[in-house]
Amino acid sequence: MLKKNKTLGEFIIENQSSFQYSSGELSKLINALRLAAKVVNHEVNKAGLVDILGDAGDTNIQGESQQKLDVLANEKFIQTLKNREIVCGIASEEEDDFITINSNDENHQNKYVVLIDPLDGSSNIDVNVSVGTIFSIYRRVTPVGTPVEMKDFLQKGSEQVAAGYIVYGTSTMLVYSTGDGVNGFTLNPALGTFYLSHPNMQFPEEGKIYSVNEGNYVHFLQGVKDYIKYCQKEEGDRPYTSRYIGSLVSDFHRNMIKGGIYMYPKSSIAENGKLRLLYECNPMAYLAEQANGIASDGFGRILDIEPTELHQRVPFFCGSRKMVEKLHEFMAKNA
């Protein structure tokens, strides 16, 4: 039986006045993302039936081979945002440069820029494992009525006004925050409606799950190696459980619900790790902090990093407060 939950549409309207800047523009933008999420969800769900699995034959600016669904999800999100004339600029993992939106309103009155990882967990697409979308929203710093500039996108994560993700999993969920806690909405596919299913999501203070690509262990810094050994040690409530999907959104989502730590450290073969500061780490860090968790690069707060380029990578550690604090102890000891 369906619980009598609020719909996302109702929730957005009810919470509009609590936004820091309540002109209604941010609400419209979240609505546009909600629509794009449904479109991409529809595509992801039929991926095995139509010819959208596999490699698209191109490489993105990160040097990764693009999957057909990476390209499709990118197109759908950008098109939906463009059609609704609701943002002044978009940056995406799959685009070399940021996109300037010429709103129909000749004066370019839109204030917000969106940064997206349209399809997170690409390597899971072909094997029917959960993938996601990540989004991050900022107010532009350049004046409205002018084309956006790089500095509108290279803002510190602490300047985000909203961030969220969609996880295309056993259910499709949209999880987001506008700075007043984190709320999760589950899609009822029959109705095409998101319902508030996970109000006020919080990382448990302590957790028992660690998530890291342990295949890279030999390349990690000593602090990370020591922390992993700590997780595996038989003592107290340890050893912890190891869970790694290889899709940041899904790993984060599980850890936020169950308690855990996600790690993508730098290594001797990837000097800044793999994850992108602007499309992956900042939005997830914003959500983590809103949900009583911590997100760091192993030493300091992710949200305080001053970005220098669009596709910048950064080491990423995120999750339950006590687990990340323990990791920090090991990192500091070996610094």
Cross-strand pairs, 238: 235
Q: Which of residues 144-203 bind ligand AHG (CB under 6 A)?
A: none
In the chain, the amino acid numbered 209 is I
Q: Token pair of 121, please?
A: 């967990």
Please state the closest distance from residue 117 (CB atom) to Mn ion, in A.
4
Minimal distance in Å, beta carbon 115 to Mn ion? 12
On whether 105 is known to bind a ligand per the annotation, the reply is no
- Residues between 36 and 95 with contacts to ligand AHG, criterion CB under 6 A: 64, 93
CA distance 101 to 90: 8
Tell which one of 110, 122, 133, 282 touches ligand AHG (CB under 6 A). Answer: 122
List 168's β-bridge partners, or say none.
Answer: 131, 172
100 contacts which partner out of Mn ion, ligand AHG, none, CB within 5 to 8 A by kind? Answer: none
Q: Between residues 123 and 222, which has the closer beta carbon with respect to ligand AHG? A: 123
CB contact at 8 A, 152 and 89: yes
119 is in an annotated binding site: yes
> Contact letters (x/-) for ligand AHG, 239-258, by CB under 6 A?
-------xxx----------
Residue 148 tokens, joined: 């956006």
- What whole-number distance in Å separates Cα of residue 244 and Cα of residue 250? 9
Least Å from the CB of residue 101 to Mn ion: 21
* 272 binds ligand AHG per the rule CB under 6 A: no
Q: Tokens representing 211?
A: 């998530």
Q: Which of Mn ion, ligand AHG, none has residue 295 at its interface (CB below 5 to 8 Å by kind)?
A: none
Q: Do 318 and 176 contact (CB within 8 A), yes or no?
A: no
202 binds, among Mn ion, ligand AHG, none (CB under 5 to 8 A by kind): none
CB hemisphere CA count around 135 (13 angstroms) = 31
Contact 313, 197 (CB under 8 A): no
Q: Does 274 bind ligand AHG (CB under 6 A)?
A: yes
Alpha-carbon gap, residue 165 to 182, rounded angstroms: 11
**Residue 247's binding partner, choosing from ligand AHG, Mn ion, none, with beta-carbon cut-off 5 to 8 A by kind?**
ligand AHG
State the number of CA atoms in the 13 A half-sphere of 142 facing the CB: 15
Burial tier of 39 (Cβ tally within 10 Å: 0-12, 13-18, 19+): middle
In the complex, what is the shortest distance from the CB of residue 130 to Mn ion, in angstroms, rounded to a whole number?
13
The least distance separating ligand AHG from the CB of residue 15, rounded to whole angstroms, comes to 29
Q: Position of tokens 């939106």?
A: 101
| 120: contact with ligand AHG by CB under 6 A | yes
- Residue 126, binding choice from ligand AHG, Mn ion, none, Cβ under 5 to 8 Å by partner class: none
Annotation: binding site: 93, 117, 119-123, 213, 244, 274, 280
Annotation: binding site for Mg(2+): 93, 117, 119-120, 280
Annotation: binding site for substrate: 120-123, 213, 244, 274
